[in-house]
Structure 1
Amino acid sequence: MSFLYPRLLAGQAVPLYERYQQLSVGELTKCAATRHTSAVYVATGGDRVSETKLDELRDLVVSLAEEAGFPGASDRERRAAFDRRLATAVHASMGLAPAEAAAGDIWAFVALVLLPDVSYWRYPQPPGDRVLGTDLTRHVVGRMWWRAQLIHSPDEPDPYAALNILGEDAFDRIYSRRRALGGSPYLVKTILKVWDSLDLRGLPYRETLEDFLKRLLRLAPFVLFESLPPASLEAELRAVARDTVMAVLAGLEDGRYDLSHRVDVVFGG
């Protein structure tokens, strides 16, 4: 079932964001709530989420944060693990339709009303886009819901396994190109499948991924990726990846390996 979530419009969200910058995590816990007097809902399209369900969502997220050190100190590795668990939890439990999840005002409510303490613990003194929902590629919770949405494979034993393939920076590079690439779960899942099959040891990871995505962007106006059957799409992406690997290896000017042999190693040959 799809639920409608309360929306906190900018006129109410921005003052909360600014006031919360001055509060401690403990003080923000006292501000957490399942309702806000200024919250609104869209007029049609489903049942309004209950306060009981919002309470359950808060309890779930807080318990995940506590595993990563909340409300105290944490580290990069534990925060990254929290993000992955958060993505699975919110996508599996919220009952959001993608059209509803595209509304930044929903995520402003989640970050500033339901989970202000967790939000400001995860990103101390956050810039506005981390909590206001103005950029869903940056929002503390919303970006993780969308990451899970794009890789969710309900027929797999672990529908969210692909969350472990790319780190946050790498995944954001795909999602930031969502108009051409990152808006299609079918394409994103195939990109991740191909990328996960490569042995990139010894190659500059970020440079290689950036080159691969640029080549896909240049190809996008001429190829309707979603029209290709799975085997054909995978073959197309592997061909693009091979061009990328050859270009990156050639740029390294590393004479230790024969270029064609090194490319074969990357592709498991």
Structure 2
Amino acid sequence: MTKLLPRLNAAQVQDLINLSFEYQINEAKNFPSALVSTATIGASGGSRVQDRELKHLCTTIRTIATDFGYPDLKLTQRQLFEVEVAVFLADSDLFESGEGLRDDVWAFIATVLLPDIVIWRHDIKSSSTVVETDEKLSTNHFKGGVRNTFQRLWLRAKALDRGLSNAKRWELLSTLTEDALVQLIERPSISASSRLSVAIGEGWLRHSKKSESKNMEPIMRRFMVLIRRLNEICLLDYFDDHALTETIDRLFNDASVKN
């Protein structure tokens, strides 16, 4: 049965992140906090998630963060931290249903349950306010969408999962650079298909190994332009595995010529 999670709309997110950091963090750690009551939940379509399940979510992510220095040290091994969190979120049964696709659910998780981790992950200074114009303090880290601190990790894991039977199931997630991940996941016409996303990830991996002296960032950006254009003409998901691999390799080679 679908587990319905609390939801927070954009206006509620804005109201809460205007609160002091200290208040947010203290409330979040005293679960269930008074802030939970500000969220709404679906009236039908499943059963309400239990507090113990949300607490387990928070405890696990904070435990992972603690292994990387939270709350005392600045995060230096960002990719390793994010891979661990992404894998945990991908394996969690809380997001197996359509709830994982809801921006307002992830807004609740970032703003109400784990604002301290958002603040630590993005090195937001307690002397500042989140609503300043500085890009580092963007509300995008809290509100739902591809820039949400946790939603982006769940989307990456879902898109680049090689499958339970693969001994290197999460290699793409841990190997692709941040720029490559952003280029892929923030293009829903591509990332909505896990098969296509994995095929692109495999192509990136192959090409990066034979292009050690080249900068993969501009190559990946040009490749994404080419493959999105092609995908509008013919649905790449309908290609068989061999044809899809050949097409992706050809487009990576074409994107490299201009480098």
* Residue identity matched to 1:69: G
So what's the TM-score if we normalise by structure 2?
A: 0.86
* Residue identity matched to 2:142: V
Q: CA deviation at 1:98?
A: 5.7
* Residue identity matched to 2:100: A
* 1:221-258 CA distance string (max 9 Å, x none): 2221111111211111111112222332xxxxxxxxxx
Partner of 2:113: 114
Query: Is 1:29 aligned to residue 25 of structure 2?
Result: yes
Cα distance between partner residues in 2 of 1:29 and 1:116 = 6
Partner of 2:103: 104
* Pair 1:211–1:12, CA change in 2 (3 A): closer
So what's the TM-score if we normalise by structure 1?
A: 0.83
Identity %: 25
Cα distance between partner residues in 1 of 2:112 and 2:32 = 7
Q: Which one of the candidate residues 163, 171, 176 is aligned to 1:166? A: 176
Aligned residues: 240
* Residue identity matched to 1:23: F
Partner of 1:145: 154
Q: Are the aligned partners of 1:17 and 1:132 in contact in 2 as well (CA < 8 Å)?
A: no
Q: Are the aligned partners of 2:8 and 2:39 in contact in 1 as well (CA < 8 Å)?
A: yes
- Aligned pairs for 1:1-269 (under 5 A) are 2-19=2-19, 22-24=20-22, 28-32=24-28, 33-34=31-32, 36-76=36-76, 78-97=77-96, 99-123=98-122, 124=124, 125=130, 126-133=137-144, 136-152=145-161, 153-179=163-189, 181-198=190-207, 199-248=210-259
Q: CA deviation at 1:86?
A: 0.7
Cα distance between partner residues in 1 of 2:187 and 2:177 = 16
* Residue identity matched to 2:215: P
* Residue identity matched to 1:177: R
Q: Over aligned residue pairs, what C-alpha RMSD do you find?
A: 1.8
Q: CA deviation at 1:46?
A: 2.5
Q: CA deviation at 1:44?
A: 2.8
Cα distance between partner residues in 1 of 2:7 and 2:242 = 41
Q: CA deviation at 1:79?
A: 2.1
Larger C-alpha radius of gyration, 1 or 2?
Answer: 1
Q: Are the aligned partners of 1:65 and 1:118 in contact in 2 as well (CA < 8 Å)?
A: yes
Cα distance between partner residues in 2 of 1:222 and 1:228 = 13
* Pair 1:64–1:217, CA change in 2 (3 A): same
Give the gaps of 5 or more residues in structure 1. 249-269
* Residue identity matched to 1:79: R
Cα distance between partner residues in 1 of 2:119 and 2:75 = 15
Cα distance between partner residues in 2 of 1:49 and 1:165 = 34
Q: CA deviation at 1:193?
A: 0.8
Give the gaps of 5 or more residues in structure 2. 125-129, 131-136
Q: Are the aligned partners of 2:79 and 2:174 in contact in 1 as well (CA < 8 Å)?
A: no
Q: Which 4+ stretches in 1 moved above 6 angstroms?
A: none
Q: CA deviation at 1:141?
A: 0.6
Q: Are the aligned partners of 1:4 and 1:96 in contact in 2 as well (CA < 8 Å)?
A: no
Cα distance between partner residues in 2 of 1:211 and 1:141 = 27
* 1:28-77 CA distance string (max 9 Å, x none): 4321134611222223332221111111111100001111111122244x
